[in-house]
Amino acid sequence: MVYLVFVKIHPTNDGNGRSARLLEKWFLAEKLGDKAWFIQSEKTYYDHHQTYYSNIRLLGLEYFTLDYSKALPFLLMLPYATKTL
């Protein structure tokens, strides 16, 4: 959810996804320990980029009208990435 909220805020013109992925990884490492750095979330997002963008778009486009109740498909991409551990 940290990733999704950050990327939807869209604080910069470029690099929001890269920054969000780093923030997500840092958050996971803080909660799960160093092994979290080996979760292949970036590869999962890259390998499934059409699904990745479709899942992000499910929430909506405008910040003030985002519907986070539709976030589950995106959120389930991260556990899928842990299968590579």
pLDDT digits (tens, 9 = 90+) for 15-43: 888 999 999 999 999 999 999 999 999 99
77 burial type by CB count under 10 A (0-12 exposed, 13-18 middle, 19+ buried) = middle
Q: Please list, in sequence order, all residues whose beta carbon lies within 8 angstroms of the beta carbon of residue 19, skipping any fewer than 6 positions away.
A: 6, 11, 12
% of the chain residues with pLDDT over 90: 76
On whether the CB atoms of residues 16 and 23 are closer than 8 A, the answer is no
The answer, yes or no, to whether residue 44 has pLDDT greater than 70, is yes
Quick one: DSSP state of residue 66?
A: -
Say if pTM beats, i.e. exceeds, 0.75. Answer: yes
Count of other CB atoms within 10 angstroms of residue 53: 13
The answer, yes or no, to whether residue 84 has pLDDT greater than 80, is no
